[in-house]
């Protein structure tokens, strides 16, 4: 790898679900960004973006998350998270929650830090200006563009740009890719029957591609579709975009 | 059966919308109905594809959407002014204007007007406002038969059914079901369907045409809604596809139009925006086949007695809430229903209203309040995927409004001993501070060490059952990210 950035310092926003359930994803982000010449820091104050509370109607419970986020990240020029949904929630909901808390000081801080928060794919393509990150992944892969990454964080086709430059990859199109997988946060347990009906359709489309891996930029959606794929012994493995981009030829993983 | 025999029109299903259980319960039988899901998947898929094709032909579509949003916003901000102007224009044009605060008042007015004409039947143009106030049943109770003349509304009415879609109310029926309904019911209420009728759409449409023709020619009173009402001129506009509307609006002597107060537009010129947005968004057509416009009474031409009933029925409640107000921009195109992955799998009946789908999930709790179980559940009948906003021709921010309404519902439930507020409070404590969060992480890591060879959890009892009934749940690994970071990055620095 010859691409080097000029030593940008990046604060990693791991997200709570990745921190506990999918630590391999933020580790892959660390590995990838360090390989690209960034200095990665992990501010320990961070917890969660709060969208589980916000989207279930419990705004008061979400406000401490906004304060934590500001406390953890306000000192950084670049905050990078491997989740379109959590990054989208920070950008779209934190200003609204600061207004809800009637805290003008917090609102001003939120505006500053929100403008510096990026989804991993945005940071790579827009800030570092890289689509070929030097990854190697010799497998058949299909990509599901998660709803919040597309419609809230608005990452557009950046994940495709990154995936299409991965060496050895066989990227196959997913039918009805733009349809929601049925996760929807607490929707998955408040409306489990509808959620499962949607996830089962998504899993069916995934299996129809013959892919070995299903990739997304959001582990929550991946956990939902992956839950069906695992129950049905489909053999299709869920994987986060960061973990594909972190792999290199001759790399151990 | 005796009660049914005394009726003039087919009886709808028993029960009321507001008595319906919450969305989750209503969704279960719909999800289990394979035929219904097939019908819905086919129908919504077809309309979606048509909409995309027609919308992508218009390079300035986004500007049109923004214009549609801006005109409605301005009109709603000054609704009082425009409504008075509309009334003045209507009266000047020879129409009589009635104001109705709620459904009961609107129904009373219409029943009174029909009774004053001394008739016992009316023909109807498809109208969401009259569905909303349940006018047909109010007329039936007064011994007046209200005949639906839109093909899909006719299928619903003859099928003793409820509409399940705003634009295509019989979307849940396929053509062989329609054939059975026509064959069985038409002869009980008028001209029979031919005994040898097949499920060929042209034959079915022919049977409907013959069945309706005698009603069009006989009726002396028609009831319609309106897609738009122009304040400056007092012109009402009905947009339709079948010509049944044109028949109702021109043949009878008396025309009664029931119009929600949010339908007003300031000027005729404003129509140039909405008549482009509406057909492409709803039926996926460049232009709808019939657009009827009438301004009060034209002597010697068309209805000679014209009434307009302006209905509030909860609209001023929505107007009073700045975050709920955008729902009043809705032009009833149904694009949000057709794109919605939840609607596609469940259909319209689960929403407990004539307004199903994403728009229903935000409109009903505002028009009806959140005291009923069904209205409390509707804001949660969405994954917040955002597809509805993308297709909305007047840019109603449905996902944000759903979140706002969820807050209203959560506030309403506050203090009640339920599982959800307790779980949210607990999770709120865990995630409010890194020290609490790290404590919970250690507990999760411990669980993983207790079951070292388990990567996934299969079916489990409540509270995990809603997730694990059909989906496996991955186990948290023994080491969290932050504990890895501490060991591998921080200690060296």
Which of chain B's residues have a Cβ under 8 Å away from the Cβ of A58? 407, 410, 421, 424, 428
Residue B360 lies in a domain: no
* Judgement on whether residues B289 and B428 belong to the same structural domain of the protein: no
Residue of A152, A197, A222 for testing the chain B interface, max B β-carbons within 10 Å: A197
**Spatial distance between the Cα atoms of B441 and A44, rounded to a whole number of angstroms:** 13
* Judgement on whether residues A155 and A232 belong to the same structural domain of the protein: yes
**Spatial distance between the Cα atoms of A62 and A60, rounded to a whole number of angstroms:** 5
pLDDT at A2: 46
Q: Residue A59's closest CA among B242, B335, B448, B424?
A: B424
The residue among A83, A100, A127 that closes a domain is A127
* Judgement on whether residues B443 and B294 belong to the same structural domain of the protein: no
* Judgement on whether residues A96 and A14 belong to the same structural domain of the protein: yes
pLDDT at B5: 58
Which of A27, A44, A61 is facing B424, going by the closest CB pair? A61
**Spatial distance between the Cα atoms of B291 and B243, rounded to a whole number of angstroms:** 9
Domain of residue B432 covers 419-490
The residue among B265, B288, B315 that closes a domain is B315
Contacts of B492 (CB under 8 A, 6+ apart): none
pLDDT at A1: 46
Helices A84-100 and A59-73 pack at an angle, to 10 degrees, of: 110
Closest Cα of chain B to A163: distance in Å?
23
Residue A81 lies in a domain: yes
**Spatial distance between the Cα atoms of A60 and B127, rounded to a whole number of angstroms:** 41
* Judgement on whether residues A23 and A53 belong to the same structural domain of the protein: yes
Domain of residue B264, CATH code: 3.40.50.10420
Number of structural domains (chain A) is 2
- The nearest alpha carbon in chain B to A66 belongs to B432
* Judgement on whether residues A99 and A26 belong to the same structural domain of the protein: yes
pLDDT at B491: 67
Closest Cα of chain B to A53: distance in Å?
7
Are the beta carbons of B441 and A19 separated by less than 8 Å? Answer: yes
Residue B145 lies in a domain: yes
Residue B404 lies in a domain: no
pLDDT at B200: 97
Residue A3 lies in a domain: no
Q: Which residues pair with A170 in a beta bridge?
A: A140
* Judgement on whether residues A22 and A116 belong to the same structural domain of the protein: yes
pLDDT at B421: 86
User: For B78-86, which contacts have Cβ atoms below 8 Å and span 24 or more sequence positions?
Assistant: B79/B261, B79/B262, B79/B264, B79/B319, B82/B231, B82/B264, B82/B266, B83/B231, B83/B261, B83/B264, B83/B310, B85/B231, B85/B232, B86/B229, B86/B230, B86/B231, B86/B234, B86/B264, B86/B310
> Is the predicted pLDDT of residue A66 greater than 80, yes or no?
yes
8 Å CB contact between A20 and A76? no
Residue A2 lies in a domain: no
The residue among A127, A151, A181 that closes a domain is A127
Residue B32 lies in a domain: yes
Residue B137 lies in a domain: yes
Are the beta carbons of A196 and B470 separated by less than 8 Å? Answer: yes
Q: What is the pTM of this model?
A: 0.95
Closest Cα of chain B to A2: distance in Å?
24
The residue among A84, A105, A127 that closes a domain is A127
Residue A133 lies in a domain: no
Residue B31 lies in a domain: yes
Q: Residue B357's closest CA among B52, B128, B101?
A: B128
**Spatial distance between the Cα atoms of B28 and A53, rounded to a whole number of angstroms:** 26
* Judgement on whether residues A98 and A62 belong to the same structural domain of the protein: yes
Domain of residue A147, CATH code: 3.40.50
* Judgement on whether residues A26 and A114 belong to the same structural domain of the protein: yes
Residue A88 lies in a domain: yes
Closest Cα of chain A to B360: distance in Å?
17
pLDDT at A55: 97
* Judgement on whether residues A67 and A18 belong to the same structural domain of the protein: yes
Residue that has been written with the tokens 């069945």 in this structure: B211
pLDDT at B2: 46
Which of chain A's residues have a Cβ under 8 Å away from the Cβ of B473? 223, 227
Low-confidence ranges of chain B (pLDDT < 50): 1-2
pLDDT at B241: 95
Residue A240 lies in a domain: yes
**Spatial distance between the Cα atoms of A118 and A40, rounded to a whole number of angstroms:** 14
- Whether the bond between B463 and the residue before it is cis, its omega within 30 degrees of 0, is yes
8 Å CB contact between B297 and B95? yes
Closest Cα of chain A to B407: distance in Å?
4
CA A196, A199, A205, A207 dihedral sign is negative
Domain of residue A113 covers 9-127
Higher pLDDT pick, A253 / A107: A107
Hey, what are A115's tokens? 């403008």
Residue A162 lies in a domain: yes
The residue among B315, B332, B362 that closes a domain is B315
Residue B359 lies in a domain: no
Residue A200 lies in a domain: yes
pLDDT at A60: 96
pLDDT tens-place string over residues B187-218: 999 999 999 999 999 999 999 999 999 999 99
Which of chain A's residues have a Cβ under 8 Å away from the Cβ of B433? 47, 64, 68
Number of structural domains (chain B) is 2
Are the beta carbons of B342 and A65 separated by less than 8 Å? Answer: no
Residue B407 lies in a domain: no
Across chain A, the runs of DSSP E, i.e. the strands, are 9-12, 39-41, 78-81, 117-119, 140-143, 170-172, 213-216, 237-240
Are the beta carbons of A230 and B470 separated by less than 8 Å? Answer: no
The residue among B257, B280, B315 that closes a domain is B315
pLDDT at B100: 98
pLDDT at B416: 73
- The nearest alpha carbon in chain B to A62 belongs to B428
- The nearest alpha carbon in chain B to A199 belongs to B471
Q: How many CA atoms lie within 13 A of B355 on its CB side?
A: 25
User: Measuring CA to CA, how many Å separate A64 from each of A51, A53, A58, A76, B105?
Assistant: 12, 11, 12, 20, 48
Count of other CB atoms within 10 angstroms of residue B218:
14
* Judgement on whether residues A103 and A144 belong to the same structural domain of the protein: no
pLDDT at B492: 54
């Amino acid at each position: 790898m010859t691409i080097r950035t000029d030593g940008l310092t990046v604060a990693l926003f791991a997200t709570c679900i990745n921190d506990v359930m999918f630590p391999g994803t933020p580790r892959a982000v660390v590995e990838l960004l360090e390989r690209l010449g960034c200095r990665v820091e992990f501010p320990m104050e961070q917890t969660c973006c709060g969208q589980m509370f916000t989207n279930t109607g419990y705004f008061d419970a979400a406000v401490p998350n906004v304060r934590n986020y500001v406390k953890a990240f306000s000192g950084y020029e670049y905050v990078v998270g491997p989740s379109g949904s959590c990054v989208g929630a920070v950008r779209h909901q934190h200003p609204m929650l600061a207004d809800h808390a009637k805290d003008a000081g917090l609102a001003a801080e939120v505006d500053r830090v929100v403008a510096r928060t990026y989804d991993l794919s945005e940071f790579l393509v827009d800030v570092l200006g890289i689509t070929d990150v030097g990854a190697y992944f010799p497998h058949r892969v299909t990509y599901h563009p998660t709803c919040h990454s597309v419609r809230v964080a608005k990452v557009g086709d950046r994940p495709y740009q990154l995936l299409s430059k991965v060496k050895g990859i066989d990227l196959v199109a997913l039918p009805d890719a733009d349809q929601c997988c049925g996760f929807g946060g607490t929707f998955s347990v408040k409306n489990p029957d509808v959620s499962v009906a949607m996830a089962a359709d998504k899993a069916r489309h995934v299996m129809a591609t013959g892919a070995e891996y299903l990739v997304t930029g959001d582990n929550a959606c991946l956990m939902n579709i992956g839950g069906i794929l695992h129950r049905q012994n489909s053999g299709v493995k869920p994987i986060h975009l960061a973990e594909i981009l972190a792999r290199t030829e001759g790399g151990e993983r | 059966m005796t009660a049914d025999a005394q009726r003039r029109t087919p009886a709808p299903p028993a029960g009321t919308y507001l008595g319906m259980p919450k969305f989750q319960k209503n969704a279960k039988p719909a999800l289990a109905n394979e035929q219904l899901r097939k019908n819905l998947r086919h129908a919504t898929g077809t309309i979606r594809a048509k909409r995309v094709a027609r919308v992508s032909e218009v390079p300035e579509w986004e500007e049109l959407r923004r214009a549609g949003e801006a005109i409605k916003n301005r009109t709603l901000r000054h609704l009082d002014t425009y409504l008075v102007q509309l009334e003045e224009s209507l009266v000047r044009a020879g129409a009589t204007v009635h104001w109705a605060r709620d459904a009961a008042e609107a129904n009373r007015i219409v029943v009174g007007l029909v009774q004053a004409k001394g008739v016992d039947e009316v023909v109807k143009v498809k109208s969401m406002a009259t569905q909303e106030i349940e006018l047909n049943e109010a007329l039936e109770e007064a011994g007046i038969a209200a005949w639906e003349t839109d093909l899909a509304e006719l299928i619903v009415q003859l099928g003793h059914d409820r509409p399940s879609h705003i634009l295509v109310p019989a979307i849940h029926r396929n053509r062989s079901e329609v054939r059975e309904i026509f064959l069985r019911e038409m002869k009980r209420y008028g001209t029979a369907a031919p005994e040898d009728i097949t499920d060929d759409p042209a034959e079915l449409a022919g049977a409907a045409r013959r069945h309706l023709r005698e009603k069009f020619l006989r009726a002396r009173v028609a009831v319609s809604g309106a897609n738009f009402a122009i304040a400056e001129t007092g012109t009402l506009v009905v947009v339709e596809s079948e010509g049944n509307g044109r028949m109702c609006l021109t043949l009878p002597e008396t025309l009664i139009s029931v119009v929600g107060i949010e339908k007003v537009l300031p000027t005729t010129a404003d129509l140039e925006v909405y008549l482009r947005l509406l057909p492409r968004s709803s039926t996926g057509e460049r232009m709808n086949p019939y657009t009827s416009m009438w301004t009060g009474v034209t002597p010697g031409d068309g209805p000679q007695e014209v009434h307009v009933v302006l209905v509030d029925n909860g609209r001023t409640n929505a107007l009073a809430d700045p975050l709920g107000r955008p729902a009043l921009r809705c032009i009833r195109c149904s694009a949000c229903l057709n794109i919605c992955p939840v609607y596609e799998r469940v259909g319209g009946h689960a929403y407990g209203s004539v307004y199903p789908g994403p728009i229903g999930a935000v409109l009903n709790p505002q028009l009806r309040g959140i005291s009923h179980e069904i209205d409390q559940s509707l804001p949660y009948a969405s994954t917040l995927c955002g597809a509805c906003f993308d297709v909305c021709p007047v840019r109603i921010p449905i996902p944000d409004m759903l979140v706002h309404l969820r807050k209203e519902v959560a506030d309403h439930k506050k203090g009640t001993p339920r599982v959800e507020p307790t779980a949210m409070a607990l999770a709120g404590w865990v995630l409010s501070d890194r020290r609490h969060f790290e404590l919970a992480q250690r507990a999760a890591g411990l669980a993983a060490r207790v079951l070292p060879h388990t990567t996934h959890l299969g079916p489990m009892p409540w509270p995990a059952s809603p997730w694990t009934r059909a989906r496996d749940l991955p186990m948290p690994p023994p080491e969290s990210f932050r504990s890895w970071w501490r060991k591998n990055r921080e200690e060296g620095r």
